[in-house]
Amino acid sequence: LYCIDSGLLLNLCICGNNTSLDCMEDIVEGGNITEQEVPVDFPESLYRLMEDAQYEVQVRFLNETIHEIFKLFDENMDAVTWEEKKLDDFLILLHRQFQNLKSCVSPATKFKRLERFFKTLNKKVLVEMNYSAQAWELIRKETKYVLEKLDLLVATMH
C-alpha cells in the first residue's frame, strides 16, 4: 500500500509550479515570516516516533497533521491581509492531499498529542490574540514549520 510517491509529499500539492510550502510562503505577497516565537511547541517526540513507525502509521500521521492544519485555517480570518486567491489555493491543496491520504489508511485512533498541539495552538495564538493579523502570522510561521517537518518525514519513508 503506497499512497505517497517516492517524491515529496508536498510535491503532490501543486500550486502552479510550486509546492504547498511555496504556496504557504506566498500567501503573503512579499511578506516575511515573523520572528516572534510561537508560544506552543510542536510535539517533536511524537514526530521522532513517526520516523521509525510503520508506513501506514506514518501516512495516518501525515493525514491527521494536514487535517489539523486545514481546521486551523477554518477560523475567523477577518484580520488576515493575505492574498485571498493564494490562500484559497493553499487550502484546496491541503484538502486534496487530506482526501488522497485518507483513502489510503484505515480509520484508527487519533494521535492525541498532535490533536492537543493544534487545539493549544488555536487557543494560545488565535483565540487569546483575538484572531489578529499578528496571530495569523504566527499560525503561518508554525504551519510552514510543520509542513517542513512533514516533508522531511516523507523523505525517509519507504
Scored b (16 or more CB within 10 A) or e, 39-60 reads: ebebbeebbeebeebeeeebbb
pLDDT tens digit sequence for 86-103:
888 888 888 888 888 888
**Domains identified in the chain and CATH numbers:** 9-156 (1.20.1250.10)
Query: 28 φ, ψ to 5°?
Result: -105, 105
Between 38 and 2, the higher pLDDT residue: 38
Average the pLDDT over 45-53 and give the result. Answer: 94
pLDDT at 3: 53
With helix as H, strand as E and coil as C, how does the chain read? CCCCCCCCHHHHCCECCECHHHHHHHCCCCCCCCCCCCCCCCCHHHHHHHHCCCHHHHHHHHHHHHHHHHHHCCCCCCCCCCCHHHHHHHHHHHHHHHHHHHCCCCCCCCCHHHHHHHHHHHHHHHHCCCCCHHHHHHHHHHHHHHHHHHHHHHHHCC
pLDDT attached to residue 52: 92
Residue 6 pLDDT > 50, yes or no? no
Cell numbers representing residue 152 in the block = 522531511
pLDDT of residue 28: 43
pLDDT tens digit sequence for 107-158? 777 899 999 999 999 999 999 999 999 999 999 999 989 998 998 998 888 6
Residue 105: pLDDT band (50, 70, 90) is confident
pLDDT, tens only, 13-32: 333 444 555 565 565 444 56
